[in-house]
Structure formats: structure tokens, C-alpha cells
Amino acid sequence: MGLALWPHCKKKELEKEFCAELKSGKHEHFLAQNKDGEYLGFINLSLRSDYVQGSSSRPVGYVEGIFVTPKSRKQGVAKELIKQAERWA
């Protein structure tokens, strides 16, 4: 799914970057699945200490990327991913 959101990247590059992000402790990734275990989407989050427009405090939770599969759109998947992001931040 990451390649669908970032098609200019290579699969191995994304895998390496995602692993490094998760090890850093400043990033989180959440996956959405249906009851059959099929992946519907994901959200990639970070804690940023640099300037983020509209924020007056630091660190701030930041959505680096969000993706929902085309067939799963308009079903509340992104809304649930954002709720999970809010709980994490």
C-alpha cells in the first residue's frame, strides 16, 4: 500500500525507511483491516520538533501519509485511522 501512496519509491527503500522510522520511537504506523484480515489502509505518523504550520507547540503529531484502498473508500476507514492517530499523539 505504501507504493500506491508513494509510487516514485522502490519497495526496498520504503521497507528500509519504515523500519528505521519505527525504531526511532518518533514514528508510528497503523494498519486498518476488515474482519477477514484484508488490509484496507494505513496511516504513517511522526512526532515533529521542527516547524509545523498551524502548531504552536512541539513536538507535534503529524500525518506523514494516509492511504485507503480504492474499494474501501467512503466507508469510514480514513476516519478510524485519524482517530487512532489522535489517540497516539
**Backbone φ/ψ region at 6: left (φ over 0), alpha (ψ -120 to 50), beta:** beta
Say if CB 30 and CB 18 are below 8 A apart. Answer: no
Distance CA 17, CA 38 (A): 23
Tens digits of residue pLDDT in 42-71 = 999 998 888 777 787 888 888 999 999 999
pLDDT of 32 reads: 97
Question: Residue 89 pLDDT > 80, yes or no?
Answer: no
| CATH code where residue 33 lies | 3.40.630.30
Distance CA 23, CA 12 (A): 17
Range(s) of the domain holding residue 34:
2-88
Instruction: Please state the domain count of the chain.
Output: 1
